[in-house]
């Protein structure tokens, strides 16, 4: 779901000259700058720290993450459960979750930024030796075949069998924020923020050949049972946490944890998710 603050006129980009100064002082001297391990991001951090100062993330009113979408995910995972607002500036390649990089007027930009509140998926993966491993995913949980042979997976939703056998390279459960990532590459649907839905998308489904996936309520509990796990081993991945040789994987949204991303008013995540659907 998303929470939206007041925005200026549609299409107007706030600048240091015309942005409201009310609230800007709340961020001055209380910004933590984190940078990806690249030369571009590192130098950007040096310039911003020289201009605005820097505090430890635990003392910050906001974290400014400098990098690409991968670094934004790393930052969110690092501070899961603390709900410190994170404002990203693109120093990477894609930058779907990032704002444009500009050094001037940063406290004013933060003061008028809009918030997108997200909830991660919780994955509980049971391995072949009986271990239960948990991990959180902001984008998606994916099951992937480990060998040359396709996986065979049984799918249950809220305790009811929906597919007795899916033969595939894998399958994805994606959040709205993650629906434009791996899910979109696998031809899954894009989900607007606030739709309270999850996308379930197969990867190279062989049987049933015509099945293209499903949209599920965000309260759904999804269980994947691996068929023939010795012959057809499967790995489960929550964003970048991988568990190998799984036999059963449970996925559900964890609404006890909130993540807050900040965006410039004309660069909000909801708008970009909608615009992405009209990209040709």
What pLDDT shows up at residue 2?
33
Q: Is the pTM of this model over 0.85?
A: no
CA dihedral of 188, 192, 196, 197, whole degrees rounded to 10: -10
The Cα 243–Cα 126 span in angstroms is: 9
Burial class (CB in 10 A: 0-12, 13-18, 19+), 37: exposed
150 assigned binding-site residue: no
For residue 49, cis peptide bond before it (omega within 30 degrees of 0): no
What pLDDT shows up at residue 15?
34
Domains and CATH numbers, the chain: 24-118+258-276 (3.40.50.10330), 121-253 (2.60.200.30)
What pLDDT shows up at residue 209?
87
- The ranges of the chain with pLDDT < 70 are 1-26, 28, 267, 280
What pLDDT shows up at residue 226?
98
Q: Tell me which residues are annotated as active site.
A: 69
Instruction: Look at phi and psi of residue 228 and say left if phi exceeds 0, alpha if psi is from -120 to 50, else beta.
Output: left
Q: Which two tokens stand for residue 86?
A: 């994170």
Q: Are 145 and 169 within 8 A, CB to CB? A: yes
240 assigned binding-site residue: no
The Cα 215–Cα 188 span in angstroms is: 10
Return the closest-CA partner of residue 207 out of 247, 248, 154.
154
46 assigned binding-site residue: no
Angle of CA points 46, 51, 55, to nearest 5°: 75
256 assigned binding-site residue: no
What pLDDT shows up at residue 22?
38
169 assigned binding-site residue: yes
Which H/E stretch holds residue 226? strand 222-227
The Cα 203–Cα 212 span in angstroms is: 9
Return the closest-CA partner of residue 106 out of 55, 154, 49, 187.
49
What pLDDT shows up at residue 280?
66
């Amino acid at each position: 779901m998303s929470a939206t603050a007041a925005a200026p006129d549609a299409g107007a980009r706030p600048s240091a000259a015309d942005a409201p100064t009310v609230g800007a002082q709340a961020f001055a001297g209380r910004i933590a700058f984190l940078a990806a391990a690249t030369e571009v991001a590192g130098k950007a951090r040096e310039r911003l720290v020289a201009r605005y100062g820097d505090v430890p993330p635990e003392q910050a009113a906001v974290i400014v993450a400098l990098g690409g979408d991968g670094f934004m995910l790393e930052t969110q995972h690092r501070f899961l459960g603390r709900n410190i607002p994170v404002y990203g500036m693109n120093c990477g390649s894609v930058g779907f979750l990032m704002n444009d990089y500009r050094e001037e007027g940063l406290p004013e930009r933060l003061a008028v930024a809009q918030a997108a509140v997200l909830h991660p998926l919780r994955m509980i993966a049971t391995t072949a030796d009986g271990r239960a491993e948990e991990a959180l995913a902001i984008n998606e949980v994916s099951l992937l075949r480990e060998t040359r042979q396709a996986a065979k997976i049984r799918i249950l939703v809220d305790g009811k069998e929906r597919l007795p056998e899916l033969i595939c390279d894998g399958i994805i459960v994606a959040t709205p924020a993650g629906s434009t990532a791996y899910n979109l590459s696998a031809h899954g649907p894009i989900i607007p923020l606030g739709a309270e839905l999850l996308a379930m998308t197969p990867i190279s489904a062989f049987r049933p050949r015509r099945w293209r996936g499903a949209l599920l309520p965000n309260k759904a509990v999804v269980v994947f049972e691996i068929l023939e796990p010795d012959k057809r081993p499967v790995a489960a991945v929550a964003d970048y946490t991988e568990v190998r040789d799984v036999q059963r994987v449970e996925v559900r949204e964890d609404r006890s944890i909130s993540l807050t991303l900040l965006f410039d008013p004309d660069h909000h995540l909801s708008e970009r998710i909608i615009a992405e659907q009209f990209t040709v």
